[in-house]
């Protein structure tokens, strides 16, 4: 099964375009998990169990584990999702980008060590830096195109360029996408650029962060980003779901936030 097949099935069967970002912040993890040996794993599994009915994908962010030496909990988390929710996509959010010989090691990290279905990458070093990932036929890459943060126009979208960088990235990634493994990151905070990207890449899946804490406009995202089948988007939310509630009901609050986002999104489809 290709990554597009898996994602399309998840979109259809879950009737959801929601991706939950797993960005565990120790200070916000409920106290009961901190008594155990694997607070990051236990907290994220509880979030996964609570929100799985309402999502198409989970996206653990690796720095939140690596900063504190918790890689083994991330390995366990991805294995847990794969075992219990094999129909949902797993995305390792790592934004890697290096020359080919090193990219092969990063691909091994993402796909073999962690077993993720897809990984986020930077386009800065060009095709050489993504080729080793594409050698994994059943896996996907999600390349940064137009990021959600405010301070990147000077590089990604400079008016004086004949073709802005984010559009060049979109066109290049579409060109690299011979086997249907490529996707793009396009932030919800720039819905007009999202429309342009959609025109360039056809029905390529887009991962859309920036809803919630970053203030993206969901209505505009949906209007500009859906593909012809009213799919094509993974709308990612992290903090808005992980920390929707505090105390004992954190998982109930997370489930309600995920379901509410799913329904809100589906209201625009």
Give the x/- contact pattern for a copy of itself in 39-68, rule: CB under 8 A. Answer: ----------------------x-xx-xxx
- Nearest distance in Å: CB 206, a copy of itself: 17
Residue 102 makes contact with a copy of itself by CB under 8 A: yes
Angle, vertex CA 12, rays to CA 10 and CA 18, nearest 5: 60
| CB closer to a copy of itself, 143 vs 234 | 143
What region does 15 belong to: left with phi over 0, alpha with psi -120 to 50, or beta? left
Contact residue for a copy of itself among 60, 123, 140, 191 (CB under 8 A)? 123
- Nearest distance in Å: CB 73, a copy of itself: 13
Task: Quote the DSSP letter at residue 38.
Answer: -
Measured CA to CA, the distance from residue 264 to residue 267 in angstroms comes to 5
Q: Which stretch binds a copy of itself (CB under 8 A): 158-166, 196-204, 229-237, 260-268?
A: 158-166
Determine the 3-state secondary structure of 9 from DSSP. Answer: helix
Inter-residue contact 21 to 61 (CB < 8 Å): yes
The gap between the terminal CA atoms of the chain, to the nearest Å, is: 26
- Nearest distance in Å: CB 14, a copy of itself: 26
Question: Is 95 noted as a catalytic residue in this protein?
Answer: yes
Helices (H) and strands (E) in the chain, counts: 13, 8
Residue 99 makes contact with a copy of itself by CB under 8 A: yes
Residue whose pair of structure tokens reads 């995305």 in the numeric block = 91
Inter-residue contact 207 to 179 (CB < 8 Å): no
Residue 183 makes contact with a copy of itself by CB under 8 A: no
| CB closer to a copy of itself, 131 vs 260 | 131
| CB closer to a copy of itself, 122 vs 266 | 122
Inter-residue contact 210 to 187 (CB < 8 Å): yes
Residues forming contacts to a copy of itself in the complex (CB under 8 A) are 23, 61, 63-64, 66-69, 71, 75, 95-103, 105-106, 108-109, 112-113, 122-129, 144, 147-156, 158, 160-163, 165, 168-169, 172
What residues are annotated to the active site?
Answer: 95
């Amino acid at each position: 099964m290709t990554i597009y097949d898996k994602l399309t099935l998840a979109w259809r069967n879950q009737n959801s375009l929601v991706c939950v970002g797993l960005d565990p912040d120790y200070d916000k993890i409920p106290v009961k998990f901190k008594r155990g040996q694997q607070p990051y794993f236990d907290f994220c599994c509880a979030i996964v169990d609570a929100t799985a009915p309402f999502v198409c994908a989970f996206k653990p962010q690796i720095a939140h584990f690596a900063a504190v030496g918790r890689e083994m909990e991330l390995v366990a988390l991805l294995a847990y999702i794969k075992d219990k929710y094999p129909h949902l996509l797993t995305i390792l959010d790592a934004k890697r980008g290096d020359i080919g010989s090193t990219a092969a090691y990063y691909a091994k990290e993402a796909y073999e060590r962690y077993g993720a279905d897809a990984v986020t990458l930077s386009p800065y070093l060009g095709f050489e830096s993504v080729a080793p990932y594409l050698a994994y036929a059943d896996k996907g890459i999600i390349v940064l195109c137009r990021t959600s943060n405010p301070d990147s126009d000077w590089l990604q979208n400079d008016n004086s360029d004949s073709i802005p960088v984010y559009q060049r990235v979109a066109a290049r990634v579409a060109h690299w996408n011979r086997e249907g493994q490529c996707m793009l990151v396009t932030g919800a905070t720039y819905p007009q650029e999202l429309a342009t990207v959609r025109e360039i890449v056809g029905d390529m899946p887009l991962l859309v962060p920036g809803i919630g804490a970053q203030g993206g406009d969901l209505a505009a995202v949906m209007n500009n980003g859906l593909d012809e089948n009213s799919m094509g988007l993974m709308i990612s939310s992290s903090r808005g779901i992980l920390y929707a509630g505090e105390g004992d009901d954190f998982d109930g609050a997370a489930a309600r936030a995920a379901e509410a986002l799913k329904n809100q999104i589906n209201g625009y489809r």
